[in-house]
Amino acid sequence: MGVFDSYQDEGLVLNYTPAGAVSAGDVVFVGEIAGIAPYDIAANETKSINLSGCYSGDKESTTDTYSYGQAVYYDEDNDRCTPDVTDKYLGECIEDAVATDTKVAFRLNPANSPNIDAFVSQEVTYDQFTDDGGTSGHIDLTDQIPADSQVTGFKAVVATGFTGDTTAVIQVGDDSPDPDRFSAITTGSVLAAGTVGSQAGTANDFCAAATTVRVTVTGASDFGLITAGSMTVKVFYKPRP
């Protein structure tokens, strides 16, 4: 008998026990699984939430447009549907929505949810960087961002500061080169031990093809003055259905 021998049900609903009251039509998340409450649920009461079905939700902005099959996300702060890939995934649009529409119709589809970020990670040291002949040096990470992925940001945990110069800042991008493609900030300091990072924050962070990650460190005057430094860089991404 196999490991997965105990059939439970079709998986169209899931038991949910909210800490606070939930109203019918509310979007709720169990971990990273998106669901919609079909009825009111009192605090600490266990009832089922829907994991499938077609719904119509308010758009975050009246100027947002959607096309059939486009991914729809959920802005938790504003309780609205959004095309913003940095928010949580709900499902796919099932009817074109133009700028004048106030709602978007979508199919709830947590089975394809990419809400959990994957990442590439590598420990790098200052002497592995290629000196670009000026204030900066770079290193290309070994593992690539897979094709059809949305980069959401990066984190660098600095174990040893990149010392020797008066400043050292990090940018994360690709080998095109677009050095800050995956870093919304370009002033993150790696001069001392600590953690720095940011969201991707650009309009060009979707990787249609496998993409090499380039990490760039820039000093104040000359990269060759940097004589120490080590950090672990993680670049987070979400595979897109």
Q: What is the 3-class SS of 163-186, one letter each residue?
A: CCCCCEEEEEEECCCECCCCCCCC
* Mean pLDDT, range 92-107, rounded to an integer: 92
Tokens of 83: 């095309």
- Same domain? For 132 and 187 the reply is yes
> What pLDDT, on the 0 to 100 scale, is given for residue 23?
94
> What pLDDT, on the 0 to 100 scale, is given for residue 164?
94
* Mean pLDDT, range 113-135, rounded to an integer: 86
Beta bridge partners of 101: none
Other Cβ atoms closer than 10 A to 87: 19
Total domains present in the chain: 2
Question: Does a structural domain hold residue 8?
Answer: no
Range of the domain at 227: 118-239
Share of the chain above pLDDT 90, in %: 56
Question: Does a structural domain hold residue 1?
Answer: no
pLDDT in tens, 158-216: 999 999 999 999 999 999 989 999 998 888 999 999 999 888 866 668 898 999 999 99
CATH number (domain holding residue 22): 2.40.300
- Same domain? For 226 and 204 the reply is yes
Question: Does a structural domain hold residue 102?
Answer: yes
* Mean pLDDT, range 205-231, rounded to an integer: 94
pLDDT in tens, 48-84: 999 888 999 999 988 899 988 888 889 988 999 998 8
> What pLDDT, on the 0 to 100 scale, is given for residue 3?
54
Helix (H) or strand (E) segment spanning residue 108: strand 103-108
* Mean pLDDT, range 23-31, rounded to an integer: 89
Question: Does a structural domain hold residue 32?
Answer: yes
- Same domain? For 62 and 137 the reply is no
Q: Is the pLDDT of residue 112 over 80?
A: no
- Same domain? For 235 and 125 the reply is yes
Question: Does a structural domain hold residue 4?
Answer: no
For the entire predicted model, the pTM comes to 0.57
- Same domain? For 85 and 142 the reply is no
- Range scoring the smallest mean pLDDT among 12-16, 174-178, 188-192, 222-226: 12-16
Measuring CA to CA, which residue among 40, 43, 50 is closest to residue 15?
50
Q: Judge contact between 207 and 146, C-beta under 8 A.
A: yes
Q: Is the pLDDT of residue 7 over 50?
A: no
- Same domain? For 21 and 64 the reply is yes
Other Cβ atoms closer than 10 A to 197: 19
Q: Judge contact between 219 and 192, C-beta under 8 A.
A: no
CATH number (domain holding residue 170): 2.60.120
Cα first-last separation, the chain? 32
Question: Does a structural domain hold residue 190?
Answer: yes
- Distance, in Å, from the CA atom of 152 to the CA atom of 226, rounded to the nearest integer, reads 29
* Mean pLDDT, range 142-157, rounded to an integer: 89
- Same domain? For 90 and 152 the reply is no
